[in-house]
Structure 1
Amino acid sequence: MTVSESDHLDVERIREDFPILDREFDGTPLVYLDNGATSQKPDQVIDAISEYYRTYNANVHRGLHHLSQEASIAYEEAHDTVADFIGAEGREEIVFTKNTTESENLVAYAWGLRELGPGDEVVLTEMEHHASLVTWQQICERTGAEDKYIRIDDEGRLDMDHARELITDDTQMVSAVHVSNTLGTINPVSELADIAHDHDAYIFVDGAQSVPTRPVDVQAIDADFLAFSGHKMCGPTGSGVLYGKRHLLEEMEPFLYGGDMIEKVTFEESRWNELPWKFEAGTPNIAQGIGLAEACDYLDDIGMESIARHENELAQYALERFAEFDDVETFGPPVGEKRGGLVSFNIDSVHAHDLSSIINDYAVAIRAGDHCTQPLHDKLGVAATARASFYIYNTREEIDVLIDAIDDARQIFG
């Protein structure tokens, strides 16, 4: 539908689905290159959310009237759609949260606080997002477990020999980002899963930057847990997913307590609801879940293989253009190596925030800062980086606009 015979994205056709891309600032068309932070939303997702509020807005699992039944069915089927999208066995393995961070915390609190103790280890990578790093760091402080970090090399790849040294029989959990939101590195999470499982440890995969941009099959990579956010994949904000193997979710205690997550309550005790509702206490983000399912269908229609190819091509082109400047440093895998659709960079003697501000004058939206990876930036020896991140509606011509804006910024800063 949106893929041409050459298996490249029909980007111009896709762009028609995103009304925000028609915006201009002082007559200059918007160039949106901050997709690693959040993606834009197509009409199909906006319409699905609007239809819920306009035609069958009601609480789920609580009423026998028509609206509640329609809402309940749509919300439950949204879990089915997401399960199919990532290759889970069924809706029982799909817990709706509000974002990747909440999913990380759910496992850390519901599993980590009960299972970890002195002598146990949690192994992470040096490129972890704060959602993973801070969460497990704090859980280790509370339980007496130790957090360890797999090194990265000079080009932002994981040192897998070091991973094999760190992951031992004392390791209980390995938490690894699938695609780095700063470096664009695509980590071998399936290999990490094998190493973890050889030591009877679990693996938690942060899929915030991978699920929106490439095919991810949780059974193929043998992830025990995987998390991602809907707002990075054409879905609404406030929509997130925790995937967990069914037997692990069944063994875990709830993270939140209250309505809908219970089966029976007496003054003496409570029994929990079946999966996944056991972990979805209170009124859930109904519209967001329905919108997320629509986003999954939208991306499926385009084709995740084609999306991954498109992002890599844009990243490679951006790296080639950046190489034209001798005062621009890029971070992560070099030209020619497959990577996620983003490039972090700096200009000599120009702070990333100043650069981003100048580029914004050209209606080009990029990210500047530490991208919630402060320890990684410390290792790289920089306080901040600028980041251009691409998605299904971006073009080479937009990268050319970015390069022209950067060239002008270089002249301004001398």
Structure 2
Amino acid sequence: MPRDLPLNSLGLPKPPSQTRVVVAMSGGVDSSVVAAQLAEEGYDVVGVTLQLYDHGAALAKKGACCAGRDIHDARRVAETMGFPHYVLDYENTFREAVIEEFADAYLAGATPVPCIRCNERVKFKDLLATAKDLEADCMATGHYIQRKMGVLGAELHQAADPARDQSYFLFSTTPEQLDYLRFPLGHLASKAETRALAAKYGLPVADKPDSQDICFVPNGNYAAVIEKLRPGAADPGEIVDLDGRVLGGHRGVIHYTVGQRKGLGIGGLEEPLYVVKLDPVLRRVIVGPKEALSTRIVPLKEINWLGDAPFTSQETWHLDVKVRSTRPPRGAIVRPTGPTTAEVELIAPEDGVSAGQACVFYAPEGGRVFGGGWIWKG
């Protein structure tokens, strides 16, 4: 690739008309705007939508990511803007790489984040490989996150709009993937700007509501999905306190999450109780006072590191971390215990830290993402 040409808007030294971009299109407004904007700029755009599960199955719901309606909407956007659009059947891959693990994790008492696994194992792996097979120069998505060039190469940074930032769900993006990926919406100040662009391009999805749930979980009902995937998973059991005293019964461990307070069915107590642990082997839900949820030490595995120096080159890293997608980054000391494992000490304890969630690393200033790992039971 020639290096004496000026860089185009995607950072490549060639004219847009000679730059092929595969756009991952979910059928929503974000990825539709990315595809439309790049097409208007003259890029050789190829839209790709993944069929991730049977549209007629009970797991799918109207308006969910990649359900039948969304594929139709993505196709309409492609027709409006005049670029080719393909639907790829990734149903088996998605089930094996995402849904099965989701069900097993819940049965083991963890709280999984399937959207991260989907990005890691499907979109940024198989779909990215397909984009290269199509001889695309890069792949673009509608994620709200920024890719910036640093001294040593591409870096991952939080989105300009903190309310839309999706860095928590993209921490496992590798440096090699980051070289190839582009995130054209990450610099926008608000979602209103995205919808204004959709209206400008005359896109049929300009007013389409955002999807709020995990794509294969109708109405956020995790338990119903797991019962369908693992018949008998919702066997009843006991609710016990920290000393093992039985306080009541429950209708299945899969109906509870760490930190939950409402819906326990054990009223009449002097103080409110929270779910502090799940024991799927004994089918027990362990409850305790709010202070029992407080955690300072968090063990991590499967760490993906995006720093400039090797992860194990220092005994400690002073970073900000997120232990839930809905919480702001907070100060922590990260101590490597191996190439992909660590112990994180939170400067201020946090409630409801749960196995199966991600712990994402950030620079204390500037919004750069340094990767992260998966929380597990020590």
Q: Where on the TM-score scale, by shorter chain, does this alignment land: which range? A: under 0.3
- TM-score between both structures, scaled by the size of structure 2: 0.27
Q: Could you say which structure has the higher strand fraction?
A: 2
- TM-score between both structures, scaled by the size of structure 1: 0.25
Structure showing greater relative contact order (alpha-carbon pairs closer than 8 Å, 6 or more residues apart): 1
Q: Could you say which structure has the higher helix fraction?
A: 1
